[in-house]
Structure 1
Amino acid sequence: MVWIPFWSKIEEAKPSASASDVAAKCPVDHSKFTKKSQGPAKCPVDHDMLDPTTNMPYNLSATNKVPGQKLDLPTERTLSSIPRGDKESAGVWEYPSPQQMLNAIVRKGHIDTPEADVPAMVDVHNFLNEGAWSEILKWEKKYMDESGKAPRLLKFTGRPNEPSPRARMLQLMGSIYPSKYGGPPPFDRHDWTVLRYNMTGEKKEVRYVIDYYSGPSEDGFPTFFLDVRPAFDSFESVRDRAELWSKSVWEKALGQGGRQE
């Protein structure tokens, strides 16, 4: 888990078979009450209109104001340092503009968000994403050294209402040993799918889980903790996490302990 201070102030059933002519029949004519099937049930969300790499609408406006908006928010987008997609020609991921951020927030039902706070929220969003990618690069370093190629971020999804197994475990430990493990749950969770290259140039998709925690403020400024690790989806990920854990234990045994990052 890495500690990240943010040094910018934030104002913050199948149908039954027909009965036999000989068999006894129910006296009620069920055909009067049965509606003809209109085909399989459909999801109310038009997934063709969602970007599968972000789970957000393709047409999320970058310039249109939301109803009742009073302030003019910037519409310019900022480039990240995170490579996008599976080809170099795809460039890097772009962060949302403050106007896009407000549009997305209102779309999710948070209509009372102060408009003046949105630019600072975008700064925090971008800052945390850069921190998360920096941690992923630490996990990916040995594979980068082997292949000579940097990983790329294929897609991501937010799962704020689905606590990770580790977050649930830490909350349980906190209820038993509050002095050592007590603390608030993560305020957000993301799953990022990263494209990794091996030494033969083959590609592999690796899922990372990121838990976002709020830390104590320092001189009025917020701080954050990011818990970034590969998901237990493959033998490589299990091995990588075991290696990091054993390295931490060994360093502590030698008196070189410190905060695990």
Structure 2
Amino acid sequence: MHEQQPAAPTPAPPPPAGCPMHNDQQSPFAQHAARGQVNPVNNMPTLAQAPAQGQKMALPLERTMSSIPRASSASSSASGSGSSSPAPMACPVAHGSSDSPDAKAAAPADKAEQWEYPSPQQFYNALVRKGWETPEESVEMMVSIHNWINEEAWAQVRQWEEKHPGGDRSSLAAFTGRPQELSPKARYHLFMAKLFPNTYASIRPFDRHDWTIHRPTAAGTGGSSYMSGGATQPYTAHRYVIDYYHLPNDEDGNPVFSLDVRPAVDDLAAVQERVAKWWELKKETVFGSGGATNLPPGVRVQEER
């Protein structure tokens, strides 16, 4: 996610191993900065808008609102997936202006809240807290790419969700950052790359997220339906796994990423979805115009400068 300046002659360095907004208890750099107060809702420290010690240039304090709807139960302890994964975290989002009583009072009752990205100053403070040395002049570009990748991830989640009744009203309840843990699929592709290097890529994901999605459901007698909206609508929780790959820059120097977004195989329905999607892609590869490739799985996305 590090991005070179347009005039720089050398290529951009590879992205850091994991999103800096995550409160990674295993980080080897954790001892370099105080963690501050941790928000029990998302396991995130409160990141100040004040400049970090030794900071030389002022960074913007404005935060960008994402297009990702925030589940009404995201302010509670709902994880709902039955998974034993780490406590939910918010990667670039949550806590701050959208959590304030005034902001909630001003929001329309029938409009779902949205997750909010951190300001460049908060992002830089997260980098400092992790112990990562980053040029201050690069932070705004990093925030832009970081936000853009999350928007693309949500677009891919929606493609899966909209196949289900009520899925067009699904919302994001929690993030979990697991950058040090390879997903089973990523581990499989790395293994197969050793056997079939012309077909499988030996590229390791630079980050992994688990996202918990709340999908509205039709209610029984006396309940709200997924058409009614509101904080009391019934829902089912579903976990998605997202592997993030950084590919070589294109011929113009634009960064290229591959996002592999898919439902976690927590139940039989998710397995059936994954198999159906695999067969669809396999038919395109075998009978369609696409040939074998050694790129990592997922959707290729490219950032225009």
State the match for 2:208 in structure 1. 189
Aligned-pair CA distance for 1:199 = 4.1
1:28-39 equivalences in 2 (<5 Å): none
1:127 aligns with 2:116: no
State the match for 1:49 in structure 2. 38
Q: Secondary structure at the match of 1:157?
A: strand
Mark the structure with the bigger radius of gyration: 1
In the alignment, the residues of structure 2 paired with residue 173 and residue 257 of structure 1 have an alpha-carbon distance, to the nearest angstrom, of 20
Q: Secondary structure at the match of 2:249?
A: strand
> Which amino acid in 1 is paired with 2:47?
L
Percentage of pairs with the same residue: 45
State the match for 1:18 in structure 2. none
Q: Secondary structure at the match of 1:227?
A: strand
Contact (CA 8 Å) 1:186, 1:212: kept in 2 or not? yes
Q: Which has the higher helix share?
A: 1
1:1-261 equivalences in 2 (<5 Å): 12=13, 49-53=38-42, 55-57=43-45, 59-61=46-48, 63-86=49-72, 91-110=113-132, 112-143=133-164, 146-147=165-166, 149-200=168-219, 201=226, 202-218=234-250, 219-252=252-285, 254-255=287-288, 261=299
Contact (CA 8 Å) 2:213, 2:237: kept in 1 or not? yes
| Distance change >3 Å, CA 108–CA 176, structure 1 → 2 | same
In the alignment, the residues of structure 1 paired with residue 218 and residue 273 of structure 2 have an alpha-carbon distance, to the nearest angstrom, of 17
Segments of 5+ residues of structure 2 without an aligned counterpart are 14-33, 74-109, 220-225, 227-233, 300-305
State the match for 1:15 in structure 2. none
Under a length normalisation based on structure 2, what TM-score does the superposition of the two structures give? 0.65
Under a length normalisation based on structure 1, what TM-score does the superposition of the two structures give? 0.75
In the alignment, the residues of structure 1 paired with residue 37 and residue 124 of structure 2 have an alpha-carbon distance, to the nearest angstrom, of 23
Q: Count residues with an aligned counterpart.
A: 218
Aligned-pair CA distance for 1:255 = 3.1
In the alignment, the residues of structure 2 paired with residue 251 and residue 221 of structure 1 have an alpha-carbon distance, to the nearest angstrom, of 28
Segments of 5+ residues of structure 1 without an aligned counterpart are 1-5, 13-44
| Distance change >3 Å, CA 165–CA 245, structure 1 → 2 | same
Aligned-pair CA distance for 1:179 = 2.2
In the alignment, the residues of structure 2 paired with residue 242 and residue 198 of structure 1 have an alpha-carbon distance, to the nearest angstrom, of 24
